[in-house]
Structure 1
């Protein structure tokens, strides 16, 4: 279900029981992101910034660079007035890329955090985190309940 590339960027591929448009919607609005990653505010349109809260650990923020019917690209940023998480500085200069394709009776999610590689100090923690949140997406689409931060 999840395939992490140890030699390069973090990647995951999930086969999910959802229509492609329902899956991509999880990445294009604060409400969608809140269902699998964590409490989110902001704007999911191109040029907008989504801010994901991790309580006392701070916030991750991403600027939306692209939203197409089958592709979303985010750029991690430091949002004005936010308290960045401990790994935010390592995420600057990376991109988070999501591609969704119809597959069988559902959809296949191709997730890539380009630039998140083993050379970064946060690698182990970030891989564990992304694996948790990929499982959260899977759970959300299979059971109706994800495992976002704070749930």
Structure 2
């Protein structure tokens, strides 16, 4: 058995500021639909033509932990398109030597998974780069779509319904 993907960043902000930044998903990862502010909230993240995933907030402990369950996913670049389904994304936040440490773990994303190299590279870019910048400077580097990739609110709503159907045993397309 191999370990789940984990990466850690250290920032100068408070644990609460880190917690707040993590929950501002659009400012560090990219456009989402839905909400991330309460346990039970659901949201969808999309990279048009490549990846989308639906999440349910399962844990929110201010200044300490954020956890999301992947309720449905579609990864266009691997054989098992729903490889992330049922996995968990977690951010553990702690003060260490007067600084804030954020440990990101994607439980279920192991070296045994086909998407491991691509997915860990992407998570590393967003967590170690964009989220860290957001916490440290107030400005992240989320993925932005334009031109033919631009998605309307209706597009996002349709994808949210597809993810929900996939999570309930339906088929996501």
Task: Tell me if TM exceeds 0.5.
Answer: yes
Distance 1:75 1:8, change over 3 A: same
Structure-2 separation of matches of 1:105 and 1:36: 24
Structure-2 separation of matches of 1:140 and 1:68: 20
Instruction: Choose from 88, 97, 109 the match for 1:104.
Output: 97
- Which residue is 2:142 aligned to? 148
Are the counterparts in 2 of residues 100 and 110 from structure 1 also a CA contact under 8 Å? yes
Structure-1 separation of matches of 2:121 and 2:20: 24
Aligned residue for 2:109, secondary structure, equals coil
Distance 1:99 1:140, change over 3 A: same
- Which residue is 2:28 aligned to? 36
TM-score by length of 1: 0.82
Structure-2 separation of matches of 1:40 and 1:105: 33
- Which residue is 1:16 aligned to? 11
- Which residue is 1:115 aligned to? 108
- Highest Rg: 1 or 2? 2
How far is the alpha carbon of 1:142 from its aligned partner? 2.8
- Which residue is 1:90 aligned to? 83
How far is the alpha carbon of 1:57 from its aligned partner? 2.8
Structure-2 separation of matches of 1:41 and 1:26: 17
Aligned residue for 2:92, secondary structure, equals strand
Instruction: Choose from 63, 70, 75 the match for 1:76.
Output: 70
TM-score by length of 2: 0.72
Structure 2 unmatched runs, 5+: 146-173
Are the counterparts in 1 of residues 72 and 84 from structure 2 also a CA contact under 8 Å? no
- Which residue is 2:20 aligned to? 25
How far is the alpha carbon of 1:111 from its aligned partner? 0.8
Structure-2 separation of matches of 1:100 and 1:133: 17
Are the counterparts in 2 of residues 54 and 150 from structure 1 also a CA contact under 8 Å? no
